[in-house]
Amino acid sequence: MPSQSDAEKSKNGAHVACIMDGNGRWAKKRGLPRTAGHTAGEENLAEVVRQAAKRNVGWLTVFGFSTENWVRPKAEVRHILALHKQLFGRIEELNANNVRVQWIGRPFDEPGSKTPLYVQKAIRQAIADTASNTGMTLTVAFDYGSRAELARAVRKSKIELFTVTKQSIEERLYLAQMPPVDVLVRTSGESRISNFLLWQINHAAVYFTQRPWPDFDADDLDAALALLDA
Ligand code: FPP
């Protein structure tokens, strides 16, 4: 698949990527179970999507669930998966905001994929039902790990071309059409990248905030976007 030219990639506003950290700590501080923090995180994500869609954000990519997250307690994993179903089910709201949904992660039909069928179904449905929206693109990373993505791209380059170049890797990423990230956000005081979009953040500005994800708001989003004017 040919990748977009740089001009095409950047014509539709900034690409903001978020590592949504701190749901657990947000809940603990309030004496609530961790799952309540994730629920608040999903609700806040819906609000951040609305806010981003009103701004000059063309692409919003969020780390919903990593390839490493499967080892969390079963009940917590079940809860986070159900929240993904809920998010992908917000079709009316997404359409009202002209938001197109995408998913990035380990392909369902490839070895190691762990995405249950009901989440696959919700993802497929959201992608289909929002495909004609022309505003912001919301990409949810689910069962995603950047090193696995890169190893696969290199493997495919070798099999298909017998050669590996920067271009051959870029064209074989999970979403070759996704533009590079302009600003990477991580909430809750963590200043690590944690295997998120390692190739795509090559030139990104980085915005770290102490606020946990459920409290990340429009002011934070504006502060992150302001890094692009600096
Ligand atoms: C980090 O909180 C967040 C995650 C593990 C990702 C899950 C994100 C959500 C449920 C928000 C909604 C998003 C979607 C796509 C439905 P943490 O548990 O690591 O927090 P902690 O570091 O404070 O324990």
Per-residue pLDDT at 5: 44
Per-residue pLDDT of the chain (230 residues; tens, 9 = 90+): 334 444 444 447 999 999 999 999 999 999 999 999 999 999 999 999 999 999 999 999 999 999 999 999 999 999 999 999 999 999 999 999 999 999 999 999 999 999 999 999 999 999 999 999 999 999 999 999 999 999 999 999 999 999 999 999 999 999 999 999 999 999 999 999 999 999 999 999 999 999 999 999 999 999 999 999 98
d(CA 158, CA 172): 11
Atom of ligand 1 nearest to the CA of 212: 23
Per-residue pLDDT at 19: 98
From the list 6, 56, 69, 143, the catalytic residue is 69
Per-residue pLDDT at 230: 81
Residue nearest to atom 22 of ligand 1 (CA): 22
Ligand 1 geometric centre to CA of 161 (Å) = 38
Closest CA to 180 of 58, 74, 47: 58
Q: Among 19, 21, 142, which residue has the most ligand 1 atoms within 8 Å of its CB, making it the best to mutate?
A: 21
6 catalytically annotated: no
Ligand 1 geometric centre to CA of 89 (Å) = 18
Closest CA to 172 of 185, 183, 163: 163
Ligand 1 geometric centre to CA of 121 (Å) = 21
Read off φ and ψ for residue 39, nearest 5 degrees.
Answer: -60, -45
Q: Which residue has the tokens 């909430």?
A: 187
Ligand 1 geometric centre to CA of 20 (Å) = 6
Phi-psi sector, 178: left (phi>0), alpha (psi -120 to 50), beta: beta
Residues near ligand 1 (Cβ within 6 A)? 20-25, 38, 41-42, 45, 62, 64, 69, 80, 83-84, 87, 140, 188
**Whole-angstrom Cα Rg for the chain:** 17
143 catalytically annotated: no
From the list 21, 143, 182, 220, the catalytic residue is 21
* Angle at the Cα of 55 from the Cα atoms of 44 and 85, rounded to 5 degrees: 35
